């Protein structure tokens, strides 16, 4: 038995909640709701439409006769008119007034915006959950010293919690962007074939005020009061899709950075993503614990980031009042960007609430590098005891190169401190170097920065937003 292709974004990665938003059922029921709203608004503004017709339409919003619609589409090659005819068969009294004065984009475009707004709100909830997870992690490990890197080379020390705050900061920027995006979303409204509303002006016998009111009334009924484009061609500007997808791309970038950091940390054996009891890391190497979840975040994030180019080109190539080369591209690109981001955030939630930290390994790696970082403090201690700063600087430089050579070429432990203690010019013993080799003396304000960031920035966000319990199921 052969099964047709199904997108892995639906079968493996995205949540059922997000997948449903981009399902045919949700789309076509929303079309029917839009036809109901249009009829209601037209009736309220004086057209000869009855309550009986509207009630008939409402009774058949959810029992869509898909088989009938498919048969009509084979004949008409037009998806919207096929559903108009199918709806009309179920609603014989309302049949004459379904889609009255409208063009296909009335249902197509307005439905797309409604779906995107619902999807953005799902994404928003998941961002809040990630912020909460990471803030708990940051607070727990705010004092644990760890190597900080520039150019992926050990530079100074930070703390595990402080690094987590960098991840949180990225997500907070994304939250601000998604709020702006949701707030700026606009419906197409009721504009007609080329955006001039000519068909509606004819319906209302040249009454411009009623046509204007129709636009306002329909959008208000749909929950978009005063949020619709005042002027359009046949469609809403495709720049809106680009803005939405760019917002998703920014989220993907944050997740990508987190996943890459974690993959490196797992390679260092410092911090790992969760690994289930019966999980297999490799079919060939039983001992392996591959960072599968983080790798999947990286893979899907790359897809979302590249996908934005589609919406940018589509927005750039719309001819005059409309062209149809947006349609096939748009229905794939927008849906899959949301499904991929949903999958990414499901993984991010799962990983961020189950991170495994190995303090002993972190401390071991810190102490391997700390002697190099401590050289300035050691030199100051020796100067206090009468040493020559310039001479000591040169000796430390030479000893550092020699100790580095021992580590890299001979695989032995860092012996820089022993070289310094054995040099009488420094006049120091190991007990006097205890403070110089205490990692907590090199983390600066990391602990305080974590505390201030969490209390001043993160806590107000969490207090303002209810944090939903989100149970994510990760296919491994």
> Any idea which residues carry the catalytic annotation?
151, 282
- Strands (E) across 160-242 are located at none
3-class DSSP state of 147: strand
Q: How far apart, in Å, are the Cα atoms of 290 and each of 263, 269, 274, 455, 467?
A: 9, 11, 10, 35, 30
What region does 253 belong to: left with phi over 0, alpha with psi -120 to 50, or beta? Answer: alpha
Residue 469: how many CA atoms within 13 Å on its side-chain side? 0
Kindly report each contact of residues 60-65 with a partner whose C-beta sits within 8 Å and lies 24 or more positions away, as own/partner: 60/32, 60/87, 60/90, 60/91, 61/29, 61/32, 61/33, 61/36, 62/29, 63/90, 64/25, 64/28, 64/29, 64/32, 65/89, 65/90
3-class DSSP state of 202: helix
Residue 274 CB-density burial (10 A; 0-12 exposed, 13-18 middle, 19+ buried) = middle
Alpha carbons 304 and 421: distance in angstroms, whole number: 55
Q: Phi/psi of residue 61, each to 5°?
A: -65, -40
Q: How far apart, in Å, are the Cα atoms of 339 and each of 51, 135, 252, 332?
A: 39, 26, 12, 11
Q: Phi/psi of residue 431, each to 5°?
A: -60, -35
Those residues whose C-beta lies under 8 Å from the C-beta of residue 168, and which sit 6 or more positions away, are 131, 134, 135, 138, 453, 458
Q: Phi/psi of residue 65, each to 5°?
A: -90, 80
Beta-sheet pairing, 356-357 with 271-272: antiparallel
Helices and strands in the chain: count of H runs, count of E runs: 19, 4
Name the β-bridge partners of 146: 158
């Amino acid at each position: 038995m052969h099964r047709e292709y199904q997108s892995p974004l639906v079968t493996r990665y995205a949540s059922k909640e997000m997948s449903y938003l981009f399902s045919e059922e949700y789309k076509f029921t929303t079309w029917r709701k839009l036809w109901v709203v249009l009829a209601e608004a037209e009736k309220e503004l004086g057209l000869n439409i009855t309550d009986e017709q509207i009630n008939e339409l409402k009774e058949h919003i959810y029992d869509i006769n898909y088989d009938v619609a498919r048969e009509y589409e084979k004949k008409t090659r037009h998806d919207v008119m096929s559903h108009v005819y199918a709806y009309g068969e179920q609603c014989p009294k309302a049949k004459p007034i379904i889609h009255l004065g409208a063009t296909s984009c009335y249902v197509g475009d307005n439905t797309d915006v409604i779906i995107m707004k619902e999807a953005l709100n799902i994404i928003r909830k998941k961002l809040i959950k990630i912020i909460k997870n990471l803030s708990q992690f940051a607070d727990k490990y705010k004092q644990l010293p760890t190597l900080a890197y520039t150019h992926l080379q050990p530079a100074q020390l930070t703390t595990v919690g402080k690094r987590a705050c960098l991840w949180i900061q990225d997500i907070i920027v994304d939250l601000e962007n998604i709020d702006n995006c949701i707030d700026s979303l606009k419906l197409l409204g009721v504009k007609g074939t080329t955006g001039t509303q000519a068909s509606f002006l004819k319906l209302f016998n040249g009454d411009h005020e009623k046509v204007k009111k129709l636009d306002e009334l329909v959008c208000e009924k749909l929950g978009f009061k005063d949020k619709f484009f005042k002027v359009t061609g046949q469609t809403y500007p495709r720049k809106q899709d680009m803005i939405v997808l760019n917002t998703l791309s920014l989220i993907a970038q944050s997740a990508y950075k987190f996943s890459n950091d974690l993959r490196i940390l797992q390679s260092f054996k410092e911090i790992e993503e969760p690994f289930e009891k019966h999980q297999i890391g490799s079919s060939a190497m039983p001992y392996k614990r591959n960072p599968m979840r983080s790798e999947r975040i990286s893979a899907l994030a790359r897809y979302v980031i590249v996908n934005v180019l589609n919406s940018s080109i589509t927005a750039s190539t719309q001819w005059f009042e409309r062209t149809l080369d947006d349609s096939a591209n748009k229905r794939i690109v927008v849906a899959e960007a949301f499904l991929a981001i949903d999958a990414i955030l499901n993984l991010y939630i799962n990983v961020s609430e189950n991170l495994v930290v190995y303090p002993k390994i972190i401390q071991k790696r810190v102490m391997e590098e700390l002697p190099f970082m401590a050289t300035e403090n050691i030199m100051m201690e020796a100067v206090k005891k009468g040493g020559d700063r310039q001479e000591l600087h040169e000796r430390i430089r030479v000893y550092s190169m020699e100790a580095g050579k021992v580590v890299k070429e001979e695989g032995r432990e860092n012996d820089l401190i022993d070289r310094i203690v054995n040099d009488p010019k420094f006049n120091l013993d190991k007990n006097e170097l205890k403070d110089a080799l205490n990692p907590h003396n090199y983390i600066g304000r990391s602990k305080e920065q974590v505390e201030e960031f969490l209390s001043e920035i993160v806590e107000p966000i969490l207090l303002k937003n209810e944090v939903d319990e989100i149970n994510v199921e990760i296919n491994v």
